[in-house]
Amino acid sequence: RTCIAISLAMRFIYATDMHGNAQLFERVLKEAEKKEIGALVIGGDMTPFLGFDAMRIQRAFIEDYFLPRLEKFAIKAGKPVLAMMGNDDFSINYDLLEKAEDNGTLKIMHNRVISLGRFNIAGYSFIAPTPFILKDWEKSEDEIAADLRKLSSKTDMGRTVFVFHTPPANTSLDMLYNGSHAGSTAVMGFIKRKQPLATLHGHIHESPDITGIWKQKIGMTISMNPGCNAFAVVDMEKPDASVL
């Protein structure tokens, strides 16, 4: 289950950090239905923000809206959906994604390589430690680096798009409102060394608004963070031609 093959067009929709925003999700699905789009990729934090009884609220959101809506999309559009959790998604609800995968509604991409035509997508949900309460999807930078060495050994860098929930550190993609950076040094080191075709990120919602940049070149790799109020049309043949 660590390598899955799917045949599709060379462009896909990437959305992340929607946090229960059904209006945005409906826009994303409508765009993904277009004939020139081959797949939908969801990069984590799909459930509502944390709060009182958040675990139950997130589970209800996944069961009552998110997965039923994806099932309707799958029937209407007939296109694959790749998804993973982010740091604000309770991992106790991971079983719902696994059941949806067994039913053919989606493919879980965390810590896996999935073939999309001539290209691959690899996903990774973990982020470096934060001040936030939920710790389900946090690991040390050393642990992240070790995980990425294993994951990258399963694929060809020149034809792989990596989906990291966290952005690379000290870039235009990880800047907080106060101007400081909050990305992963392990992810940044990985991109510099391995130079994958492209990388997709999220987690730091405000970064595109603060820096005015959502797409950045790191060596030969195109890295993108669309933020939480937009989504990207990713072109696997020409990543630099991807649009917000």
Which pLDDT belongs to residue 133? 84
Question: What is the C-alpha to C-alpha distance for residues 228 and 38, in angstroms, rounded to an integer?
Answer: 22
Label residue 57 by pLDDT band (50, 70, 90).
very high
Q: pLDDT band for position 9 (50/70/90)?
A: low
Q: Tens of pLDDT along 92-125?
A: 999 999 999 999 999 999 999 999 989 999 999 9
Mean pLDDT of the chain: 94
pLDDT computed for residue 160 by the predictor: 97
- Buried (b) or exposed (e) across 96-112, using 16+ Cβ within 10 A? ebeebbeeebbbbbbbb
- For 114, the 3-state DSSP assignment is strand
As a whole number of Å, the CA-based R_g of the chain is: 16
C-alpha–C-alpha distance, residues 149 and 143, integer Å: 10
Cβ(18)–Cβ(86) under 8 Å? Answer: no
Cα atoms in the Cβ-side hemisphere of radius 13 Å centred on 61: 22
pLDDT for residue 2 is more than 90: no
pLDDT in tens, 182-239: 999 999 999 999 999 999 999 999 999 999 999 999 999 999 999 999 999 999 999 9
pLDDT tens digits for 125-146? 999 999 888 899 999 999 999 9
* pLDDT above 90 as % of the chain: 91
Whether pLDDT at 43 is above 70: yes
Which pLDDT does position 52 carry in this prediction? Answer: 83
pLDDT at 159: 96
